[in-house]
Amino acid sequence: MQFFLDTANLDQIREVGELGLLDGVTTNPTLMSREGGDWRKQAALICEMVDGPVSLEVIGTSHEEMIKEAKDLVSFGTNVVVKIPMIPEGLKALRELTERGIKTNVTLVFSPTQALLAAKLGATYVSPFVGRLDGLSQSGMEGVDQMRTLFDNYAFGTKILVASVRHPLHVLEAGLIGADVITLPYSTITQLMHHPLTDQGLAKFLADWEAFQKGE
Residues belonging to the active site: 83
CB 204 → ligand E4P: shortest distance, Å? 37
Residue closer to ligand E4P, measured from CB, 121 or 165 = 165
* Nearest one of 63, 69, 20 to 43, comparing CA atoms: 69
Do residues 162 and 130 make contact, with C-beta atoms less than 8 angstroms apart? yes
Residue closer to ligand E4P, measured from CB, 6 or 23 = 6
Degrees to nearest 5, angle at CA 20 with 15 and 22: 75
CB atoms within 10 A of CB 19: 10
Sign of the alpha-carbon torsion through 146, 152, 155, 159: positive
Do residues 130 and 144 make contact, with C-beta atoms less than 8 angstroms apart? yes
Residue closer to ligand E4P, measured from CB, 135 or 201 = 135
Chain residues binding ligand E4P by CB under 6 A are 6, 26, 28, 107, 127, 129, 131-132, 163-164, 183
Residue closer to ligand E4P, measured from CB, 9 or 154 = 9
Spatial distance between the Cα atoms of 191 and 186, rounded to a whole number of angstroms: 9
CB 184 → ligand E4P: shortest distance, Å? 9
Q: Residue 142 — φ and ψ, nearest 5°? A: -60, -40
CB 5 → ligand E4P: shortest distance, Å? 10
CB 26 → ligand E4P: shortest distance, Å? 4
Helix H or strand E segment including 66:
helix 63-73
